[in-house]
Amino acid sequence: MEEPRVDSTQTAPEPDEFQNETPNHRTATLERINPKHIFAVATVITLVALGATTFYLFFINPNDWTLPSFVVVIVLMFFALSTANSLLFVNSTRIGGTLMGLTVAVAGPVALWFSGMLLFFYLIPPATLFPPKDPLERPLTLEKFGDIVTQVMKREFNWSTYTEWKKDQDTVDEIFDEEEPTTLRNLLGGLYETRKSDGKPLAMLGEPHITTVFFYFEKVVIKVQRITGLREGENTYIRFESHGTESGAKTASVIFVGDSDKNTGILRRMKRFSSNSSYKGYYEEISENPVDCLILAYYDDVVQEDYLIVNLKRFSNDLSGRIDLAAVSLDEIHPINASSFWQIQPPLFLKRIISSTSNEEHIEVPLVFQKVRGADVEAAQKVHDRIIPWLETLDVSLANDQIGDSPVRNLVEAVRGAFENATGAPTLAEAYHLIKEENFKAYHLENARYASMMLLRR
């Protein structure tokens, strides 16, 4: 085999020349990194991590903290601390272990960072600091089930708890602020009152239709309320006691029992009246069927904000029926500026909340609220058709002296006098016809449940 040709001027390299050969450029660059640069970069990263942690802890509202951001900040904090420790002190931290036959070990700054972070999350689990806000994510308990039902009612049917409703409604202020104890006492007392005799429910009305109008004059408020329905049992009981808005208000109430046609429901005449309860608790015992009666109430507390309640629990054991509710201001200086209409009922589950003032846990007010559509002309016409027959009947009864000389007549005359002073008409029916349509705020609810409430501001 032919030997390779070697030029006479070439010489074979010596082994020492290989050993003393200058390293290539890439190797030289890696070896010449100044440790000061590494220290500077690590310092900058550490300061950024500490700055982010400080900003999160002292400048972000704790109510706005979230679980992901909290975890990221803790990771950054331990990274900064472990890096600073390694830069300032000799770090010989090492952790290791065997996992499924594999030996895993971590040493240096990473080990300090990792071990400190794991210890913190073990002692203070993030889930305990940030419990799920969605009740569906919490373990199944009775309280969770109640929260789910409350959430569904709010999302699907627009029912709100008392605290949420009080914050969201913008019709009134004072009666759920300064007068809140009196207001809640009246609301809860009406919605949770018992209607029993000898342990048995009082006979009420089937298919009740309740039409209520509140008339606001300069110095008095008058309620006119017509109640119709079918009698339950041999007798039915209608409560006619009334309460003023403010504590200490003076009121007077009377109930008139009418005779109506069974087929048409047309009121034919007034049969009798009463201002004294024929049964304990201001319930009037009525044997007529169908039932058709009128409650007339006189209040001396003229307020600028008011809440008007129609509680079906007073009239029906089924807690359901038709509702007409209206308010009219005959005081030109204080017209009705705003109104809203709500359904109220007990919640399916009681809810515990934390007070914003005392920071103590207590039971939420056991009421839920649902807003109903606004006032309209059709609802006002329904009110007219229901109220005018009784006003005409009272006018006839006064003219024929059927009421006689009694406290009841005095009350009716006071009501008639208030209407005459405001409209100039000598009779109740004529005065009602003179009321301007725009003065009415009327609502109608065909399938009402429990209680309905109108809020108004004058």
The full length of the chain comes to: 458
What integer pLDDT is reported at residue 133 of this predicted model? 58
CA distances from 217 to 37, 221, 416, 420, 438 (A): 86, 6, 12, 11, 16
- Contact yes or no for 255/226 (Cβ under 8 A): no
What integer pLDDT is reported at residue 5 of this predicted model? 42
How many other CB atoms are found less than 10 A from the CB of residue 169?
16
Give CA 332 to chain center in angstroms: 34
Task: Take residue 394 and report the two structure tokens written for it.
Answer: 């009272």
Q: Tokens 């305990």 appear where? A: 128
Q: Mean pLDDT by 10-residue block, N- to C-terminus, for the chain (458 residues)?
A: 45 48 48 65 74 73 71 76 67 67 69 74 72 55 58 69 87 83 82 71 86 93 94 84 74 88 79 68 82 91 87 84 93 89 82 57 79 83 93 91 84 92 93 88 90 91
Full-prediction pTM beyond 0.85?
Answer: no
What integer pLDDT is reported at residue 228 of this predicted model? 93
Strands (E), 275-381: 283-286, 291-299, 305-311, 320-329, 338-345, 352-354, 361-363, 368-372
pLDDT in tens, 358-389: 556 667 788 889 888 877 778 889 999 999 99
What integer pLDDT is reported at residue 155 of this predicted model? 63
- Contact yes or no for 389/266 (Cβ under 8 A): yes
What integer pLDDT is reported at residue 185 of this predicted model? 84
What integer pLDDT is reported at residue 139 of this predicted model? 56
What integer pLDDT is reported at residue 348 of this predicted model? 72
What integer pLDDT is reported at residue 46 of this predicted model? 72
Q: Using only the alpha carbons of the chain, give its radius of gyration.
A: 40
pLDDT in tens, 27-41: 444 455 666 666 777
